[in-house]
Amino acid sequence: MSDGLETVFDLKQTSVREVNAALHSAAVAGSYVIENPAGAHNLAVGVDAAVRVRIAGHVGYYAAGMNKHAEVTIEGNAGVGVAENMMSGTVVVKGNASQSAGATAHGGLLVIEGDAAARCGISMKGVNIVVGGNAGHMSAFMAQRGTLVVRGDVGDALGDSIYEARLYVRGEVSSLGADCVAKPMNDEHHAELAALLKDAGFGDDTSAYTRYGSARSLYHFHVDNAGSY
């Protein structure tokens, strides 16, 4: 139903299929609210319009996957693969996110205000991800492009087999993955980090962060690095 300002869907009365069909329609516009999500999977996936979607509660797997142009806010926790393969737009998780948040995402901004579990940003290809709390092990595994910012601590094997993504961590890192090393923070990096934090709603001092990236020793096979492959 519509109250004139925004369209409201109640998942106690409407199916996920119907909600997604409405969000995919040629006439989609304005703002939408999805009530009583109750951990539903595949909610608000594949939206391809500059609309606002507010999900009032927790969601299951793959919420806001393949997002393009839309601004999606999840007022709760998110299951596996939130914002997977997003292209553009903004996805904000007000709570925590499970594994593989932002996996393979090509663009846009993903903000997780709480903690992110394992493999956050796995194989990211241009997305910007800001995690307000901690991130789990294997975060940014095979990250190709884009930026991952973690305001808390990170688990083991950060940036394993990383390519050209940039990683910024304010807290402690349990261990670095293969070919991931600490790098200097130059003026351009402070500026990039400050802009991302501002976009995500945070105002941290960028001097508290360490930058990590690729040592570029795995780009081509070399026998001296055989043990790292």
Q: What is the mean pLDDT of residues 181-190?
A: 97
Which pTM does this prediction carry?
0.93
β-bridge mates for residue 173, sequence order = 154
Give the full edge-to-edge strand order of the sheet including 145-150: 6-10, 31-35, 52-56, 71-74, 90-93, 109-112, 125-131, 145-150, 166-169, 210-214, 180-183
pLDDT (tens digit per residue) in 60-109 = 999 999 999 999 999 999 999 999 999 999 999 999 999 999 999 999 99
pLDDT class of 5 with cuts at 50, 70, 90: confident
- Domains of the chain, earliest start first: 6-228 (2.160.20.60)
pLDDT class of 225 with cuts at 50, 70, 90: low
pLDDT (tens digit per residue) in 123-178 = 999 999 999 999 999 999 999 999 999 999 999 999 999 999 999 999 999 999 99
Measured CA to CA in angstroms, residue 82 lies from 8, 33, 40, 73, 184 at distances of 22, 18, 12, 11, 31
pLDDT (tens digit per residue) in 29-46 = 999 999 999 999 999 999
